Amino acid sequence: MAGLNRNRQRVQLDADSIVDAALRIAGAGESDALTVRRLGAELGADPTAIYRHFRDKDDLIRGALDRLIERALAQVDPQASWDDRLKALATAILEVFSAHPSVGSQAVVHSTGGPAEARTIEMVLGALMEAGLDDEDAVRFYAVLSSYVISLASAKCSALLAADAQERWIGFFPSLRQSSAPAAVRVRDRLEALRDRDVYEDGIRVIIDAVESRLPQSRVSD
Amino acid sequence: MAGLNRNRQRVQLDADSIVDAALRIAGAGESDALTVRRLGAELGADPTAIYRHFRDKDDLIRGALDRLIERALAQVDPQASWDDRLKALATAILEVFSAHPSVGSQAVVHSTGGPAEARTIEMVLGALMEAGLDDEDAVRFYAVLSSYVISLASAKCSALLAADAQERWIGFFPSLRQSSAPAAVRVRDRLEALRDRDVYEDGIRVIIDAVESRLPQSRVSD
DNA sequence: ACCTGAACACCGTTCAAGT
DNA sequence: ACCTGAACACCGTTCAAGT
């Protein structure tokens, strides 16, 4: 329908402009699926042209993901304390991913292999070591923290894509019966008041607290 | 190819047998995608016959997911201590999902709305209350724990489906350079030794420890 | 060197027709 | 009442042909 491209002429493409177009489509308010054909239309080129720059669609998605990680990383103040850096990164990743759900939802499958990914690993490990963890604990908590962040952010994106009226990702309880689930029914109001983002940040806090309790000079703050 | 169904005769179907067939396909060693057409072949019926029993494919997946949750729940010893029950449930969900990746990978999107889901919520809340948490904390930790378990297990399933040689989900680091990621390069061996399942259980332990530290009679065990 | 366009082998789903 | 089968509107990807 839109842009039938009469008198089309040869378009010159490159990897960066294709990734740009992919993020534009993925970022659309009304979540249009990210499709090879839609990408062609956005670029004003034949859909199959992208196969001259990426091996396949997954390869393109990897490139787009690395750019999203880069944007999230740019939101973190490198002067902040180690725990603030980690919290800021976690929040930024959820935000940036959620704004591009059809890219973010793929984050579980692919290691991007890109430069932003490497910088992120370095940043997280650096923060944990600066906190005072030894190598073994730093790696362990890097793994727990990053798998948490990536899996939850990606899950949120999948939920956004599916969104058939059902806005909620966590906190949707269609069929709780007093007879079989009395405790759940008793706290039903609290369950339904759960908000995705608060739960996510609770989880981050739990992990950061666990890091703190592993430190030599462990101090309890409230 | 297989089972061309010469002299086909009308097949009588019901929702349970369709879910059975879906789990059989999803559980196949070589991960064949779960497809409406493949489901028809497995059932010996026309592919579109399932639409007389489920509104759409998502509706069927929800049914299959609820059955997987039921199986995981059955592996938990109700006599065990509250923390062992929660750990056993988390482990069982990862196992049961991983064995049926094309169903488990969809767990993020759907609340099943089925009976097993309600029983699971009740079980987790019950364990947390038995531990000594008040209603507010019980709901908070229910949310953190269940979103962790579901998101990570589902992410693992997606990784299994994608598995292009790349067995690993966590712990795959193609391009770390000394110049841009010195800390990561220094602990590279440890990073590459990370195993999905250990990381997952580390995360569960972190959450359970956080529950313990919220209890009135908090004791430290090592 | 790289974009084009037809074609292939798939998807999920609808609906009139059968029994 | 419910299964069948053709058909529709999509997918990602390949490959010979163009320029």
Encode pLDDT of B111-133 as tens digits. 888 899 999 999 999 999 999 99
pLDDT at A32 over 50: yes
Q: What is the pLDDT of residue A8?
A: 58
Distance, in Å, from the CA atom of B156 to the CA atom of A78, rounded to the nearest integer, reads: 32
Q: What is the pLDDT of residue A166?
A: 55
B209 touches chain A (CB under 8 A): yes
With a pLDDT cut of 70, the percent of chain A lying above it is 88
Of the partner residues B117, B158, B175, the one whose CB lies closest to the CB of residue A118: B175
**What is the pLDDT averaged over residues A182-204?**
96
**What is the pLDDT averaged over residues A100-115?**
90
pLDDT at B1 over 70: no
Q: What is the pLDDT of residue B67?
A: 97
Dihedrals phi, psi of B130, to nearest 5 degrees: -60, -35
Among A15-19, A95-99, A218-222, B101-105, whose mean pLDDT is lowest?
A: A218-222
pLDDT bracket for residue B218 (50, 70, 90): low
Q: How far is B206 from chain A (nearest CA, A)?
A: 6
- Cβ within 8 Å of B, A 166-185: 166, 169-177, 180-184
Euclidean distance between the first and the last CA atom of chain A, given in angstroms as a whole number:
59
Q: What is the pLDDT of residue A6?
A: 40
Sign of CA dihedral B35, B41, B47, B51: negative
Between B134 and B7, the higher pLDDT residue: B134
pTM of the model: 0.92
pLDDT bracket for residue B88 (50, 70, 90): very high
pLDDT at B30 over 80: no
A6 touches chain B (CB under 8 A): no
B152 touches chain A (CB under 8 A): yes
Measured CA distances, A78 to A123, A149, A174, A201, B179 (Å): 9, 19, 44, 20, 18
Give the type of residue at A101.
P
Which nucleotide in the DNA or RNA is closest to residue B5, CA to C1'?
D4
Sign of CA dihedral A136, B156, B175, A106: negative
pLDDT at B4 over 60: no
Residue B46 (CA) to nucleotide C19 (C1'), in angstroms, measures: 15
pLDDT at B164 over 90: no
Q: What is the pLDDT of residue A174?
A: 72
Distance, in Å, from the CA atom of A150 to the CA atom of A138, rounded to the nearest integer, reads: 18
Residue A65 · residue A120 · CB < 8 Å: no
Q: What is the pLDDT of residue B2?
A: 34
Which nucleotide in the DNA or RNA is closest to residue A53, CA to C1'?
C2
**Which of chain A's residues have a Cβ under 8 Å away from the Cβ of B108?**
154-155, 158-159, 169
Average pLDDT of the residues of chain A: 90
CA angle B144, B147, B151 (to 5 degrees): 140
**What is the pLDDT averaged over residues B34-46?**
96
Dihedrals phi, psi of B7, to nearest 5 degrees: 35, 55
- Cβ within 8 Å of A, B 83-122: 108-111, 113-115, 117-119, 121-122
Between A5 and B58, the higher pLDDT residue: B58
Q: Nucleotide D19: nearest residue by CA–C1'?
A: A10
pLDDT at B212 over 60: yes
Between A85 and A29, the higher pLDDT residue: A85
**Which of chain B's residues have a Cβ under 8 Å away from the Cβ of A178?**
none
pLDDT digits (tens, 9 = 90+) for B89-100: 999 999 999 999
Distance, in Å, from the CA atom of A111 to the CA atom of A109, rounded to the nearest integer, reads: 7
With a pLDDT cut of 90, the percent of chain B lying above it is 76
Residue B34 · residue B21 · CB < 8 Å: no
**Which of chain B's residues have a Cβ under 8 Å away from the Cβ of A161?**
109
Contact check, Cβ <8 Å, A183/B122: yes
Give the type of residue at A58.
D
Q: What is the DSSP letter of B128?
A: H
Is residue A95 left, alpha or beta, with left meaning phi > 0 and alpha meaning psi from -120 to 50?
A: alpha
Q: What is the pLDDT of residue A5?
A: 40
Residue A196 · residue A169 · CB < 8 Å: yes
Distance, in Å, from the CA atom of B116 to the CA atom of B103, rounded to the nearest integer, reads: 16
**Which of chain A's residues have a Cβ under 8 Å away from the Cβ of B191?**
121, 139, 142
Residue B57 (CA) to nucleotide C12 (C1'), in angstroms, measures: 8
Distance, in Å, from the CA atom of A68 to the CA atom of B73, rounded to the nearest integer, reads: 37
**Which of chain B's residues have a Cβ under 8 Å away from the Cβ of A214?**
none
Which nucleotide in the DNA or RNA is closest to residue A58, CA to C1'?
D12
**What is the pLDDT averaged over residues B30-50?**
92
Between B5 and B209, the higher pLDDT residue: B209
Euclidean distance between the first and the last CA atom of chain B, given in angstroms as a whole number:
59
- Residue B52: Cβ within 10 Å count: 11
Any atom of strand D under 7 A from CB of B10? yes
pLDDT at B217 over 90: no
Average pLDDT of the residues of chain B: 90
B154 touches chain A (CB under 8 A): yes
Among A110-124, A208-222, B142-156, whose mean pLDDT is lowest?
A: A208-222
Q: What is the pLDDT of residue B3?
A: 35
Residue B139 (CA) to nucleotide C9 (C1'), in angstroms, measures: 49
Residue A55 · residue A97 · CB < 8 Å: no
pLDDT at A7 over 50: no
**What is the pLDDT averaged over residues A78-99?**
98
> Which are the contacts of B81, defined by CB distance < 8 A and separation ≥ 6?
none
Any atom of strand D under 7 A from CB of A193? no
Any atom of strand D under 7 A from CB of A119? no
- Residue B161: Cβ within 10 Å count: 15
